[in-house]
Homo-oligomer: A and B are copies of this chain.
Amino acid sequence: MAVFLDAHDVAAIVNETGLESFWLRLHDYLRHDFLRWEEFDKSPRSACHFPSGVIELMPASDHAAYAFKFVNGHPGNTRRGLQTVVAFGALADVETGYPLLLADMTLATAFRTGAASALAARSLARPDSRTMAIIGLGAQSEFQACAFRVIMGVDNLRIFDIDPRAAEKFARNMARFDVSIIRCSSAEEATVDADIVTTITADKKRATVLSGNMIGAGAHINALGGDCPGKTEISRDLLLRSNIFVEYAPQTRLEGEIQQLAPDHPVTEIWETISGAKPGRRSEREITLFDGVGFAVEDFSVLRLLMDLSRETGVGQTIELVAELADPKNLFGLLQLRNNERRYA
C-alpha cells in the first residue's frame, strides 16, 4: 500500500510540524541531497509541448529511492480560474520498484523552490543581508519571503508587481510573519538598497525585469523567472557582470537566464559551493546570481521529507496504488475474486 497526500494533507503536515520547523527540515533535507549530488541519477526531464502549454515528467533517484514529478505549465489557465502550474509526484522503493508515496506537489514544489533559493543564498548573499526586493508577487512569492525569513533572517521586504491586487494578497498572507513590507511602485524602486533581489514574474517571453543600472555592488540576485526556453527576466549585461550559480548546468543552459549567454560561459553548480569544493561569494562587492530553474533532485528531497513527516504525524491516507496480489503469479485471479466490490464516483 502507498500513502497518498493531497494538498490539504501537505498543508496539515506543515501545520502539524510548525511552519518554521518545516522550513528548517526542508532546508536540511535539500542540503543533505545537494551534498551527495553525484550519487543521483540525473535523467533529463521528458517534456511534451502543446499549443496550450507543456507537460513534463521529472525523475531523480539514488540507490534507495526513485522519485518523479508530473508538472505542467499552461499560461492561459488563469483565464479559466485554474492554476498555471499544478504537479503531483511519487516516491518508489528502488529495491522492489513498488511506489511508497503519491503526493500533490503543487504546494511541495513551491516549498522546495523557496528552500532551494534560501539554501543557495546562504553561500551567495552577504551574511548580513536583511533586505530583499521581490519583483513579481504570484503564487511563489510568499514562499520565497518565508524561506528567506526563516533560513536567512531576511526581515525587510520591498515588493512590486504590476498588479496591485497581487501586492495586497502578498501583504495579507505575510501579515502574521515578523517582517516589514514596503510596497513599491516600480521594480526599480523595489531594488533600492536591497541586499537580495528575487525576480519571479510570470511573463512567458524574453523580458527585462532587472537591468544593470538597478543593481549595486554586493547584491545577490535570486533569479527564478527564467525557467523555460524563451523565458528570461535579467538583462544580458547584468548577467555578464555577475558571478553565476546554477543547479544543473546542462538543464539551466536550456531553460535559465543563461540561455542568453554563450554555451561555455562559466557557471558554478551550487552543490559544489554548498559542499565547499568551490567558493560561493568571493568579495563584499561582487554581484552573485542564482539562476534557479528547479531540478528533480529538489523534488526528490521534498518527497522524502513528506514521506518521513507523514509517518511522524500520521497524516495521510493509504491507497492501493498498484494491485496487491495474494499470489503474485495470478494476476488474472483478481478479475474473479472481487466481483462484488464496486465503488461509485
Instruction: Check A81 for interface membership: any CB of B closer than 8 A.
Output: yes
Alpha-carbon gap, A324 to B107, bound state (A): 11
Q: Is A142 in contact with chain B by the CB < 8 A criterion?
A: yes
Any chain B CB within 8 A of the CB of A129?
no
Taking each of A73, A80, A96, which has the highest tally of chain B beta carbons within 10 Å of its own beta carbon?
A: A96
Q: Which residue of B lies closest to A3 (CB)?
A: B345
Instruction: Say whether A334 contacts B11, CB under 8 Å.
Output: yes
A330 within 8 A of partner (CB): yes
Is A213 at the interface (CB under 8 A from chain B)?
no
A209 neighbours in B (Cβ, 8 Å): none
A140 to B344, CA, bound (A): 28
- How many angstroms between the C-alpha atoms of A341 and B313 in the bound complex? 13
A328 touches B106 (CB 8 A): no
Residues on the B chain within 8 Å of A338, using CB:
8, 11-12
Chain A: interface residue total (CB-CB under 8 A): 94
Q: With the chains together, A61 CA to B53 CA distance in Å? A: 13
With a 10 A CB-CB cut-off, give which of A81, A97, A139, A335 has the most chain B CB atoms: A97
Q: Among B11, B323, B336, which residue has its beta carbon within 8 angstroms of that of A107?
A: B323
**Given A4-B319, A63-B50, A82-B96: A173 touches B70 (CB 8 Å cut-off):** no
Q: Once the chains are docked, how many angstroms separate the CA of A133 from the CA of B9?
A: 51
Report yes or no: B3 in contact with A329, Cβ–Cβ below 8 A: no
Whether A322 contacts B7 in the complex (CB less than 8 A), given A57-B57, A106-B331, comes out as yes
A-B residue pairs in contact (CB < 8 Å), sample of 7: A7-B322, A11-B335, A41-B48, A43-B46, A48-B61, A55-B97, A104-B323
What 14 new A-B contacts, CB under 8 Å, besides A7-B320, A139-B330, A314-B345? A11-B334, A12-B341, A14-B335, A52-B94, A55-B59, A68-B70, A73-B97, A74-B97, A82-B96, A82-B328, A83-B325, A88-B322, A102-B102, A143-B332
